[in-house]
Amino acid sequence: MNIWDPTHECISRDELEQLQLERLQATINRVHKNVIHYRKQFNDLGVIPENITSLADISKLPLTSKDDINRNYPYGMFAVPLREVVRIHSSSGIGSKPMVTGYTKNDIRIWSNLVARFMIAVGVTHDDLVQVTFHYGLFTGAFGLHYGAETIGASVIPMGTGDIERQIMIMQDYKSTVLVSTPSYALEIAFRMEQLGINPKSLSLKVGLLGGEPWSDNMRAQIEQGLSINATDNYGLSEVIGPGIAGECSCKSGLHIYEDAFLPEIIDPDTGKVLPAGAEGELVITTLTKEAFPLIRYRTRDITSLDYTPCACGRTLVRMKRISRRSDDMLIIRGVNVYPSQIEEAVFGAAHSEAPYQIVIERVGAVDSMEIIIEVTDKIFSLELQKQGSFLESVKKRINTITGIDVSAKLVGARSLPRQDGKITRVLDRRQI
Ligand code: DLL
């Protein structure tokens, strides 16, 4: 079996814990010295870096949230001067501003190697042709997978997102062997191929490296059949590094977390208390190698559990269960993170006042759609028809500016949205994943 970095992926637990402690102490020293936010938090809790002498001491440190990152927008939590940063990425924040992350040259090198791990783990080699269908831009997905594939010496086809039929044509003509995408995009490609009468077996595809959004075993089976590939799962989030935090091996019984680079904990999302090994709760991650943008006890809001039993693949790194839900209200629409609060900001901003609204999400085939239904208020009602049209346009434009996604919007009669105890259900997610 091929293992990219056996020294770290098959390390004994004792050695791993020693390495983690050394890296944790170095990270704590760095953020204490260079990041005002952490120094202040440590001071408030009476923590001095010298007090962290075991991995268990991590519970003395404060948790970090998306709010903290947002409050320090854009560069306040960087631990190096900008001149040492060679790359900036960002992802959706809670409000109208994104969360900005940075990488030093060394961060990029480590990131590429972490991504290489899950590629090699599911059988991708330097002989493969890797078609990357993520959007190349501020999103971490495309660059992360791109560099990982180059690191193992595979040939990268940097397609980006776009017309599905063009993706299929390139797949056919360039003889792509690996598909990099979100699970829903992979399913969309499979559906379109079926419509076009293309036999998936006529393609050269063999592996799907899929991640960026939750997906079920049922979806996996549909993708595997529809594209005639081995569909594998990988996990990450932009704030922490992007893809390359965890990935499946060929056993497909959980995702190995790359614990030499990330220290995972599971907490109770309501109390913040650390839960025992095996319990389900919110994944919290401390970065152990990052230079530009280290994070201490970052609340991912993703719900999972950790399995420390040995894996048949020979890797000793802990496995996390596939993520199925979150402890906050973040939605992932076509791979893009969206908060209901951002939609509300757009609706109220366009209406210049509060307006009753509901967000409806559907999945038709494999494609997510979001519709904003807004009740006519006296103020909106008094607008002539043409102005109502431009109000809806303004809502859609604002949502697109904040989140980058296209939505539809419509007006309905006053008090026509269903209410429970006087309240409108803000989000109606009708997707069956
Ligand atoms: O989605 C990074 C990524 C790109 C991972 C490509 C894998 C492949 P964000 O846009 O910041 O980063 O979204 C992160 O997406 O907190 C999870 O809720 C969700 N997510 C990511 N991967 C998975 C997965 C990228 N494999 C958020 N299964 C995370 C379930 C996932 N959810």
The number of the ligand 1 atom at minimal distance from the alpha carbon of 210 is 8
**Mean of pLDDT values over 207-218:** 94
For ligand 1, atom 13: residue with the closest CA: 237
Handedness of CA 303, 306, 311, 315 (dihedral sign): positive
* Unique residue bearing structure tokens 């003509």: 173
**Ligand 1, pocket-test mutation among 217, 252, 293, 337, most atoms within 8 A of CB:** 337
For ligand 1, atom 30: residue with the closest CA: 214
Q: Do the beta carbons of residue 244 and residue 115 sit within 8 Å?
A: yes
pLDDT at 93 over 90: no
Residue 5, both tokens: 């970095």
Cα angle: 52, vertex 56, 62; to 5 degrees? 65
Handedness of CA 126, 127, 133, 137 (dihedral sign): positive
- Residues in Cβ contact with 226 at an 8 Å cutoff, skipping those fewer than 6 apart: 187, 190, 191, 193, 194, 200
Q: Within the chain, what is the greatest distance between any pair of CA atoms?
A: 71
The number of the ligand 1 atom at minimal distance from the alpha carbon of 239 is 11
Q: How far is the CA of 235 from the centre of ligand 1 (A)?
A: 5
Residue 391, both tokens: 């109000």
Task: Give me the pLDDT at residue 198, please.
Answer: 98
- What DSSP string describes 104-157? -HHHHHHHHHHHHHHHHHTT--TT-EEEE-S--SSSHHHHHHHHHHHHTTPEEE
Q: How far is the CA of 390 from the centre of ligand 1 (A)?
A: 35
Percent above pLDDT 70 for the chain: 98
Percent above pLDDT 90 for the chain: 84
Residue-level length of the chain: 433
Q: How far is the CA of 394 from the centre of ligand 1 (A)?
A: 29
Task: Give me the pLDDT at residue 1, please.
Answer: 63
Q: What mean pLDDT is reported for the chain?
A: 94
Question: In Å, how far are 37, 53, 65, 148, 274 from 44, measured between CA atoms?
Answer: 11, 19, 17, 40, 21
**Ligand 1, pocket-test mutation among 302, 324, 336, most atoms within 8 A of CB:** 302
Task: Give me the pLDDT at residue 379, please.
Answer: 67
Q: How far is the CA of 212 from the centre of ligand 1 (A)?
A: 3
**Mean of pLDDT values over 281-306:** 98
Q: Which residues line ligand 1 (CB under 6 A)?
A: 91, 140-141, 211-214, 233-238, 242-243, 300, 302, 323, 326, 332, 337
For ligand 1, atom 28: residue with the closest CA: 214
pLDDT at 33 over 90: yes
The number of the ligand 1 atom at minimal distance from the alpha carbon of 234 is 26
Residue 317, both tokens: 């790194």
- Model confidence over 111-163: pLDDT tens digits? 999 999 999 999 999 999 999 999 999 999 999 999 999 999 999 999 999 89
Within 10 angstroms of residue 224's Cβ, the number of other Cβ atoms is 17
Q: How far is the CA of 173 from the centre of ligand 1 (A)?
A: 30
Domains, the chain, ranges and CATH?
1-328 (3.40.50.12780), 336-429 (3.30.300.30)
Banded pLDDT at 53 (limits 50, 70, 90) = very high
pLDDT at 313 over 70: yes
Task: Give me the pLDDT at residue 382, please.
Answer: 67
- Model confidence over 351-392: pLDDT tens digits? 888 889 999 999 988 899 999 999 987 766 666 777 888 999
* Unique residue bearing structure tokens 């960087």: 78
Highest-pLDDT range among 39-53, 370-384, 402-416 = 39-53
**Mean of pLDDT values over 65-86:** 97
Task: Give me the pLDDT at residue 292, please.
Answer: 98
pLDDT at 94 over 90: no
Banded pLDDT at 10 (limits 50, 70, 90) = very high
For ligand 1, atom 22: residue with the closest CA: 212
pLDDT at 25 over 90: yes
Least reliable range by pLDDT among 166-170, 192-196, 374-378, 392-396: 374-378
